[in-house]
Amino acid sequence: MKLKNKIALITGASRGIGKATALLFAKEGAKVVINYFSSKKEALSIVDEIKKMGSEAIAVKCDVSKENEVKEMINKTINTLGRIDIVVNNAGIVYDIPLFERKIEQFKKTIEINLLGTFLCSKYASEQMIKMTNGKIINISSTNAINSFSPDTIDYDASKAGIIMLTKDFAKKLAPKIQVNAIAPGWVYTDMNKNLSKEFIQKETEKIYLKRFAQPEEIAKAILFFASDDSSYITGSVMVIDGGHD
């Protein structure tokens, strides 16, 4: 098992990529902290599923954009499980709204959850990792930060681009003992994309070399790579997972 006895905190873990990652990490031997904000029932269901695997898990409610709540989540993780070896900053939101209809409140909320949340969780978890002199941080960015531009998600795109630079800055600051990397997925079949029209999905699928969206489990495998010793000589990097894209 690649993560035997490791302690992993995964934000936004009650669904989609976060859920798939939590289950895969548990299968690989990790004890997992399932962070959620509103989906308590789903989070507890994942905890039960992990316990049935024979591993350990807890669910922790936290708004990652709130500094005090992040501190409490980190402290609860350490008090309950002893330490934090791995952090996956996955929590995020998106609004699909025409650019000139975007409200300031929506823009701020997207930046606060996606970018500030990643910063806060990385900052307070890494303080503990520094004491242990090791750790892994994996941030979830997006191809929207690189080459899939969408004016209707301008704040999301900006937040995900910020995550890439945040990844590189943390990687430099925390080297050589703590590794910080990012994943940039393209289209993935998740709840975040469940309201897309069939016509839009077909149009986007035609742009993908592999002619399909990714499954969350496929993204989770890449996150596992960065969380495990398989990536022992990689930090400050961004892995694009988009099935090939024009």
Find out whether 125 and 62 touch, Cβ atoms under 8 Å: no
**What average pLDDT does range 46-65 have in this prediction?**
97
pLDDT for 21-35, tens place per residue?
999 999 999 999 999
| Strands 86-89, 238-241: pairing kind | unpaired
**What average pLDDT does range 218-240 have in this prediction?**
98
Is 156 catalytic? The answer is yes
pTM over 0.75: yes
What is each CA distance from 176 to 93, 158, 185, 224, 239, in whole angstroms?
32, 28, 26, 20, 20
Give 9's strand partners: 33, 87
pLDDT for 149-172, tens place per residue?
889 999 999 999 999 999 999 999
Residue 97: what pLDDT? 93
Q: What is the distance between the alpha carbons of residues 174 and 44, in angstroms, rounded to a whole number? A: 33
Query: Is residue 195 pLDDT above 80, yes or no?
Result: no
pLDDT for 84-121, tens place per residue?
999 999 999 999 999 999 999 999 999 999 999 999 99
Residue 5: what pLDDT? 95
Residue 2: what pLDDT? 98
Q: What is the distance between the alpha carbons of residues 71 and 60, in angstroms, rounded to a whole number? A: 12
Catalytic residue among 36, 95, 156, 209: 156
Residue 196: what pLDDT? 82
State in Å, rounded, how far the first CA of the chain is from the last one: 37
Query: Is residue 194 pLDDT above 80, yes or no?
Result: no
